Structure 1
Amino acid sequence: MERVRFSIFFSVFVAMVGLMIIAPVMPPLIRELGLSETHSGLIISLGSVAMAVMAPVWGRWSDIKGRKPVILIGFIGMFVSYVLFTATMYAGLTKLISGGLLVILLIIARSMVGLFIPAVPSSAQAYMADVTDEKGRSAGMALIGAANGMGLVLGPAIAGGFALIGLIWPLYIGAMLPLVAFIVVLLLIPAQKPVIQEKPPRVNPLQKELRLYLFAGLATMLSIVTLQVVGGFYFQDQLSLTTKETARMVSMGLMLSGVAMIVTQGIQMKKTKWEPKPLILVGSLLLIISMLLFLFIISPIGFYVAFAFFGIGAGLMMPGFMAGSSLAVAREQQGGVSGLVAAVQGISAMIAPILSTTLYQVDKHLPFVVVAAIVLLMAITLLSVKNKISASMSVQ
């Protein structure tokens, strides 16, 4: 069991690193290629579209073909995609290709990365649901949340370290990690029979309990991406920082938030009795507090405290909505629901950058206000539904 848990953790970690390792080096690489910020946004956004579209498909395939084969296919696809993306970048940097052809090839390669990455987290989450009971589901999903958090922290750090050798070096690492993960999964995860032998029952994302947890997932991921996208602009404008000071503060803040997230989820792994709804509600309260701190405590110390609260809140909400979604469906639908959870992450990555930057241009405080409002609305909805259920049970 321990080797399975390690393999699931490592698989999700590598997938998240594969997603995050591109982000820090994309802006300077795009400028080295002579392309514009619009091209960069297009390349990243279309990769997110591929993630959102393919995540439910991979989840359903894991129900039919088995979790392990889909994870292995995902890593092979990630390797091939990264090789193509890196080769295209190299060809552009050495002036072998340029202009429209370069942009098209980068979009295709980045979309392929987005196509294969969700095969791993959606299948890994379904596998965790297979090997845990209802009481241990939140603790199991906390392990996956910790892997996400660690990838969120170490992905940019790995990119920054290897970028000192050369801007394209993080992409070489991004290509090698899936091969290492492929070997780990191949050797450590035992093969299992597919959960279902016939056509899998489709998961309806609008069914009563599930839609609440997917809403919680959307609120969580919108919060995370929004802070990543506009945080730097906000801190620079509020504290009159230089670009280097801003980069240092954002890096430290995101690292602090990631560490808080990992520690929070590490504690949850040992507290197997924590249920999804309380995790989400407490986490949402901490997320709202962090937004208020960002808005009203205008100082470096205040912002760092806000980052810590944000990390703890997100660290509670992520396993909460993952476990809740898993428990809301039948055993033969675990792959399908895991795909929907991964799709929510892709949708957030599409919506949040455009929404947050547009709001920021109207008023720099608006992105944080809107995030707090969405999280509050989600919490109120979750509470009201819970209260209705309790009331109906008491009447009976």
Structure 2
Amino acid sequence: MARVRFSIFFSVFVAMVGLMIIAPVMPPLIRELGLSETHSGLIISLGSVAMAAMAPVWGGLSDAKGRKPVIVIGFLGMFVSYVLFTFTMYAGLTRLISGGLLVVLLIVARALVGLFIPAVPSSAQAYMADVTDEKGRSAGMALIGAANGMGLVLGPAIAGAFALIGLIWPLYIGALLPIVALVFVLLLVPAHKPVIQAKPPKVSPFQKGVRLYLFAGLATMLSIVTLQVVGGFYFQDQLSLTTQETARMISFGLMLSGVAMIVTQGLQMKKPKWQPTPLILVGSLLLIISMALFLFAVGFVGFYAAFFLFGIGAGLMMPGFMAGASLAVAREQQGGVAGLVGSVQGISAVIAPILSTSLYRLDKQLPFAVVAGVVLLMAITLLSVKNKPARSQLFTNKKD
């Protein structure tokens, strides 16, 4: 069991690092290629669209074909697509390719990365559901959340370290990591029979029970992406910082949030009695408080406190919505619902940058106010659908 959990953790961690390692070097690479910010946004957005579209497909395949084969295919596809993306970048930097052809090839390569990456977390989440019972489901999903958090923190850090050698070096590492993870999966993950032998029963995002937790997932991921996208602009404007000071502050703040998220999920793994509803509600409260601090704090201490509370809140909500969605469906539908969770994350990566930057142009405080409103609406909806006792059953072992 321990080796399976480690393999699941490592697989999700590598997939998240593979996703995040591109982000810090994309802006300078795009400018080195002579392309515009619009091209960068198009390349990243279409990759996120591919993630959103393919996550449910991979989840369903893991139900029908088995978790391990889909994870293996995911890592092989990640390797090939990263090699293509890196080669295209190299060809552009050395002026072997330029203009419209370069843009098209970068879009195709990034879309392939987005196509294969969700195969890993969708199958891994379903695998975790297979090896945990209802009482331990939240703790199991907290392990996946911790892998996401570590990837979120270490991905940009790894990119920054290797970028000191050369801007394209993080892409070389991005291509190498899937092969390393593939070896771990082949050696440590036991063969796992498909949970269904016929056509997989489809899971609808509007299915009773599932839709509520997908809403919670959407609120959580919108919060995270919004902070990543407009945080730097906001703090620079609020505190009159230079670009270098802003970069240092946002980097430290996001790292603080990531550490808080990892610690919170680590504690959840050791204290597995909290169930999805209370995890989401407590996390929502902390997220709303953090948004209030972002809006009304006047100095570095207040903003860093907001980052820390944000990390704790997100660290509670992430395993909450993943476990809740998992517990809302049958064993034969675990891959399908894991795919929907992955799709929600992809959708958030598509709409949050557009929405948050548009709101920021209207008023710099609007993105944080809207995020707080969405989280509050989600929490109220959760309370209205679930029975009131769910709010006080913080240590219940019963399925919500």
TM range (shorter): over 0.9
SS in 2 for 1:42: helix
- Aligned counterpart, 1:226: 226
Q: Deviations over 1:7-27 (max 9, x none)?
A: 000000000000000000000
In the superposition, the TM-score normalised over structure 2's length comes to: 0.97
Q: Deviations over 1:9-60 (max 9, x none)?
A: 0000000000000000000000000000000000000000000000000000
- Aligned counterpart, 2:291: 291
Structure 2 counterparts to residues 132-171 of structure 1, below 5 A = 132-171=132-171
SS in 1 for 2:241: coil
- For 2:298 and 2:331, how far apart are their aligned partners in 1? 48
- For 2:245 and 2:311, how far apart are their aligned partners in 1? 22
- Aligned counterpart, 2:39: 39
How far residue 387 of structure 1 moved from its aligned partner, in angstroms, is 2.9
Question: Partner letter of residue 325 of structure 2?
Answer: S
Structure 2 counterparts to residues 74-223 of structure 1, below 5 A = 74-223=74-223
Question: Partner letter of residue 335 of structure 1?
Answer: G
Q: Deviations over 1:148-204 (max 9, x none)?
A: 000000000000000000000000000000000000000000001100000011001
SS in 1 for 2:209: helix
Question: Partner letter of residue 102 of structure 1?
Answer: L
- Aligned counterpart, 1:259: 259
- Aligned counterpart, 2:395: none
How far residue 205 of structure 1 moved from its aligned partner, in angstroms, is 1.2
- For 1:234 and 1:106, how far apart are their aligned partners in 2? 30
- For 1:172 and 1:300, how far apart are their aligned partners in 2? 36
- For 2:350 and 2:82, how far apart are their aligned partners in 1? 21
- Aligned counterpart, 1:393: none
How far residue 379 of structure 1 moved from its aligned partner, in angstroms, is 0.1
- For 2:346 and 2:45, how far apart are their aligned partners in 1? 9
In the superposition, the TM-score normalised over structure 1's length comes to: 0.98
- For 2:103 and 2:192, how far apart are their aligned partners in 1? 41
- Aligned counterpart, 2:325: 325
Q: Deviations over 1:62-103 (max 9, x none)?
A: 001100000000000000000000000000000000000000
Question: Partner letter of residue 46 of structure 1?
Answer: L
Question: Partner letter of residue 269 of structure 1?
Answer: M
Structure 2 counterparts to residues 8-23 of structure 1, below 5 A = 8-23=8-23
Q: Deviations over 1:342-394 (max 9, x none)?
A: 0000000000000000000000000000000000000000001113798xxxx
- Aligned counterpart, 1:301: 301
- For 1:156 and 1:91, how far apart are their aligned partners in 2? 24
- For 1:5 and 1:122, how far apart are their aligned partners in 2? 15
- For 2:388 and 2:271, how far apart are their aligned partners in 1? 28
> Which shifted more, 119-128 or 379-388?
379-388
- For 1:159 and 1:111, how far apart are their aligned partners in 2? 20
Tell me if 1:30 matches 2:30. Answer: yes
Q: Which runs of 5+ in 2 are unaligned?
A: 391-400
How far residue 272 of structure 1 moved from its aligned partner, in angstroms, is 1.5
Structure 2 counterparts to residues 43-62 of structure 1, below 5 A = 43-62=43-62
SS in 1 for 2:135: coil
Question: Partner letter of residue 272 of structure 1?
Answer: P
SS in 1 for 2:202: coil
Identity over the aligned pairs, expressed in percent?
85
- For 1:388 and 1:175, how far apart are their aligned partners in 2? 49
SS in 2 for 1:16: helix
- Aligned counterpart, 2:70: 70
Structure 2 counterparts to residues 347-358 of structure 1, below 5 A = 347-358=347-358
Tell me if 1:346 matches 2:356. Answer: no
Question: Partner letter of residue 162 of structure 2?
Answer: F
How far residue 211 of structure 1 moved from its aligned partner, in angstroms, is 0.6
Tell me if 1:367 matches 2:367. Answer: yes
Question: Partner letter of residue 104 of structure 2?
Answer: I
How far residue 318 of structure 1 moved from its aligned partner, in angstroms, is 0.1
Question: Partner letter of residue 39 of structure 2?
Answer: H
Question: Partner letter of residue 280 of structure 2?
Answer: I
Instruction: Note the aligned Cα RMSD (angstroms).
Output: 0.8
Moved over 4 A (4+): none
Question: Partner letter of residue 33 of structure 2?
Answer: L
- Aligned counterpart, 2:393: none
- Aligned counterpart, 1:394: none
How far residue 129 of structure 1 moved from its aligned partner, in angstroms, is 0.0
Question: Partner letter of residue 319 of structure 1?
Answer: P
- For 2:385 and 2:208, how far apart are their aligned partners in 1? 9
How many positions carry a matched residue from both structures? Answer: 390
- For 1:387 and 1:71, how far apart are their aligned partners in 2? 38
Question: Partner letter of residue 183 of structure 2?
Answer: I
